[in-house]
Amino acid sequence: MRGFYIVGGYPDREQFKKCLNAVAAEGFEFIEVGIPFSEPVADGPVIASAIHEAVMNGVDIEAIMADVREMKQKYPAIKATVMTYANIIHGYGEKRFSDDFGDILSGVIIPDLPTRMHYWMIEKGLSIPIIPFVTPVSRDEDIEAVKDTKAPFVYYISIMGVTGSDKKGAVNNRSETAKKLTGKPVVTGFGIRTKEDADRAIAATGGFVIGTEVVKRQKDFDSFCKYIAQFR
Amino acid sequence: MDKKMFFGEYGGQFVPETLIPALDELEYWYNKLKNDDKFKSELDTLLRSYAGRPTPVYKAENLSKECGCEIYLKREDLMHTGAHKVNNTLGQALVTKYMGKNRVIAETGAGQHGVATATAAALFGMECTVFMGEVDARRQEPNVKRMQLLGAEVVRVQDGQRTLKDATNAALREWVASVENTHYIIGSIVGPYPFPEMVAYFQSVIGIEANTQCKELGFDPDCVVACVGGGSNAIGIFQGFLDNPKVEIFGVEAGGVSDKDGEHARTIGMGKPGILHGAFSYLVQTPQFQVADVHSISAGLDYPGIGPAHSALNDSGRVTYGYVRDDEALNAFRMLTRKEGIIPALESSHALAYVIENKDRFKGRKVLVNLSGRGDKDMAAIMERGLV
């Protein structure tokens, strides 16, 4: 599974829509749309500064999701996911979020909602699958806890750190264990930059997601398209 | 599901998955050590011989006359490093030592927690990095220098509003990247479980002591008052009196300049429950669920969140949460200085101001105020306002 993360509504609505549709038009399997939150604690400087800019300009959840809906109508095959922090979904309302957007989303990715807290949002009515994380320090019992996930894939954070970190990915078997236990594709994120990184992730566990490198290019549509094209 | 993580409905562990093993490890050690006689006696010795416990309860006669009630001050301002913060940093540094980690990080607003962490790190021979918002670093420059003098690296955070919230974000990011050899000494009863419980435990010494001291003086206070930012000094003193239903308890938030957006830090007064820095608790937020800008003259209270224990105490009605404005805090600062010869921190001045501004409510009653810190660090802000 090949996927890209882009910041919703950034740098403006039109440019966001173009980038969103470009990813879908290239035939990639999934897209992660970020709904900006003022406290992006899991994000490194590039994504955090894009998010801050978006927050300063005003975040319109309905508008972002309307654009995702329009894209999905045109490209029904792509899996759309939302990446946002817990306060956004809780504030909007877990049930309302599911009622409004459950039909177009394959999953939600919530970086400040670890597996053991999933129940908290599910009890409040979140019915969209929550995509679980596995990390280099996940223990066997942590991975065991996600084996019955309804999510279409498991997200492997390959480094200890925030998005876009230049640390080397951890060399251990956590992602393989996750793949074996869940039987789902494991998408590797955080620190994937080049075609080689991506190929390695595909070979190892079946998928990758790139964030920082595309967000960097979200303001320059030509360079954005050129960058993603190499992963076709 | 996991009730132990919550105070009523507030609390939890809203953090990146990467931190979960470290939080479990911390929970294990905290539960083990709080019942360990050797640990307890080590900490007790440090608090007494190094940090200056017990701190006295002082009857402020001159101020009492002025206000028409009996005001007693719990003198946490006399603690080593100038505030109650060191109760917690010594405790957590000792936990860090037992966990076998050799590096600590911390966030700081007013700089008091940063200094207290740098102090404990120096004492224990640990590496220390403190994150401080650029705005706070500028308004509390002497504390930046003190931390550096103590051997800590101070990172001036340039994100967001460049205050305590942003410093906490930066510390959390750093912790995710270095969790295997680093402990994050959170400075208040905020953050993911077990931090709110552990910090409250280390600060409970304030209330336990104050309760005994009042009894020795022959009374139970009618009221206990403390300022609340994240809420660690408040929960510290409250814990000595929560069980006594005759004691009325007040938490005082920073009212800033006005109730307009961005001009106050009234988390309980103006916020609604949300998720920040690992916990579900009251939060000042915009209608679009973004964390809102806040303001207080006091860097230590300039925070949009609050410890989950306070949210629960508010909802249950056990504690009344009020506020005072910047100017009222400054007035209290001046009064205590002139009437008693004690220069309080601007944070603690909020607690005093609440008593001064609500004289009728406290008339004739015995009021115990937690004087959580001293005001040396606030000289720049005081001079800016032309008080000297």
Q: Indicate whether B106 and B253 sit together in one domain.
A: no
Residues of B near A (Cβ–Cβ under 8 Å) read 1-2, 12-22, 159-160, 165, 169, 172-173, 176-180, 274-278, 280, 283, 285, 288-291
B100, B175: one domain: yes
B234 occurs within a structural domain: yes
Quote the domain boundaries for residue A204.
2-229
Q: Is residue B61 part of a domain?
A: yes
pLDDT band at B110; cut points 50, 70, 90:
confident
How far apart (Å, rounded) are the C-alpha atoms in residues A186 and A208? Answer: 8
By the 10 Å C-beta count (0-12 exposed, 13-18 middle, 19+ buried), B378 is classed as: buried
Specify whether B67 is located in the same domain as B109: no
Q: Is the pLDDT of residue B1 over 60?
A: no
Mean pLDDT across A13-24: 97
Is residue B135 over pLDDT 80? Answer: yes
Mapped onto helix, strand or coil, the DSSP state of residue A10 is coil
Residue showing tokens 């329009």: A70
Decide which of B195, B225, B252 is a domain's last residue: B195
Clarify whether residues B30 and B103 are in a common domain.
yes
For residue B145, give its domain range.
Answer: 17-47+84-195
Contacts of A115 in chain B (CB under 8 A): 17, 20
Question: Dmax over Cα atoms in chain A, in whole Å?
Answer: 45
* Integer CA distances (angstroms), B273 to A38, A88, B17, B43, B222, in order: 16, 12, 22, 35, 30
**Confidence label for B3 from pLDDT (cuts 50, 70 and 90):** confident
Residue scoring higher pLDDT (A172 or B338): B338
Q: Which residues of A are known catalytic residues?
A: 32, 43
Say whether pLDDT at A167 is over 80.
Answer: no
- Structural domain contains residue B135: yes
- B208 burial (CB, 10 Å; 0-12 / 13-18 / 19+) is middle
> In this predicted structure, what is the pLDDT of residue B381?
84
Asked if the structure places residue B375 within a domain, the reply is yes
CATH number at residue A125: 3.20.20.70
Q: Which residue of B has its CA nearest to A114?
A: B17
pLDDT 10s digits, B235-270: 999 999 999 999 999 999 999 999 999 999 999 999
Q: Which residues of B175-195 are buried (b: 16+ CB within 10 A; e: fewer)?
A: bbbbbeebbbbbbbbbbbbbb
Q: Check whether residue B191 and residue B215 sit in a common domain.
A: no
- Residue B141 confidence class, pLDDT cut points 50, 70, 90: confident
Tell me the C-alpha to C-alpha distance, in Å, between residue A224 and each of A19, A26, A53, A229, B345: 7, 12, 19, 9, 52
How high is the mean pLDDT of chain A? 94
B171 or A163: whose pLDDT is higher? B171
Examine the domain organization and report whether B78 and B88 are in the same domain: no
Q: pLDDT tens, B314-329?
A: 999 999 999 999 999 9
Q: For residue range B147-174, what is the model confidence (pLDDT) as tens digits?
A: 999 999 999 999 888 999 999 999 999 9
pLDDT in tens, B339-372: 999 999 999 999 999 999 999 999 999 999 999 9
pLDDT value of residue A168: 66
Give the separation between CA A108 and CA A117, rounded to whole angstroms: 14
Distance, in Å, from the CA atom of B223 to the CA atom of B367, rounded to the nearest integer, reads 5
Sheet holding B10-14, edge to edge: B6-7, B10-14, B278-283, B272-276
Q: Which of A169-178, B108-117, B319-328 has the lowest mean pLDDT?
A: A169-178
Q: How far is CA B137 from CA A14, A196, B5, B110, B114, in A?
A: 39, 43, 33, 8, 11
Pick the last residue of a domain from B143, B167, B195: B195
Number of domains making up chain A: 1
Provide the domain count of chain B.
Answer: 2
- Identify whether B9 is part of a domain: no
Q: Do B173 and A85 touch (CB under 8 A)?
A: no
B291 lies in some domain: yes
pLDDT digits (tens, 9 = 90+) for B276-309: 999 999 999 999 999 999 999 998 999 999 999 9
Residue B30 lies in a domain: yes
Closest CA to A20 of A31, A34, A36: A31
β-bridge pairing B10-14 and A154-157: unpaired
Q: B108: domain CATH number?
A: 3.40.50.1100
pLDDT at residue B128 greater than cutoff 80: yes
Residues A112, B177: C-beta atoms closer than 8 Å: no
Write down which residue in B141, B169, B195 finishes a domain: B195
DSSP state of B376: G
Q: What's residue A169's pLDDT? A: 63
Active site residues of B: 85, 107, 372
Query: Are B69 and B159 part of one and the same domain?
Result: no
Percent of chain A predicted with pLDDT > 70: 98
pLDDT at residue B150, as a whole number:
98
Q: Is residue B123 part of a domain?
A: yes
Neighbours of A127 (CB within 10 A): 14
Distance CA B133, CA B110 (A): 10
Q: Give the list of residues 6+ apart from residue A220 with CB closer than 8 angstroms, or none.
A: none
**Burial of B358 (C-beta count, 10 Å sphere; 0-12/13-18/19+):** middle
